[in-house]
Amino acid sequence: MRGTLILWLLYSGQVFSQEKIESRELVGHVGSRDALMVLHATQRPDSGWQIAGEYLLLPTMTRRFLEGERSPQMGITTLKEGTSAILFGRPASGELRGTWHGGAFKGQRYGPGGQVREDFEFSEEFPSMEAYTGTVRCEASDGRYTSSLAYAVEAGRINSFEWRSKLAPGGHQCLIVNPAQQPLSGGLKLETGGCVVTLREVGERVKVAAEACTQVCGSEAYLEPLLVDKRGNCRLLRAEAK
Residue 239: predicted pLDDT: 52
Stretch 78-95: mean pLDDT: 88
Facing residues of 217 across strands?
174
98-133 tens-digit pLDDT: 999 999 999 999 999 899 999 999 999 999 999 999
Residue 16: predicted pLDDT: 45
Taking the model in full, what pTM does it have? 0.84
Q: Structural domains in the chain? A: 13-123 (2.40.128), 134-241 (no CATH)
Cβ atoms of 68 and 79 within 8 Å: the answer is yes
Q: Which of 30-39, 159-168, 233-242 has the lowest mean pLDDT?
A: 233-242
Using a pLDDT cut of 90, give the percent of the chain over it.
77
**C-alpha span between 79 and 116 (Å, rounded):** 14
| 46 against 130, higher pLDDT | 130
| 12 against 133, higher pLDDT | 133
3-class SS of residue 41 = strand
Residue 15: predicted pLDDT: 45
**C-alpha span between 56 and 103 (Å, rounded):** 19
What 3 state SS string does 98-150 have?
A: EEEECCEEEEEEECCCCCEEEEEEEECCCCCCCCCCEEEEEEEEECCEEEEEE
Cβ atoms of 63 and 54 within 8 Å: the answer is yes
User: What does the radius of gyration of the chain's CA atoms come to, in whole angstroms?
Assistant: 21
| 93 against 90, higher pLDDT | 93
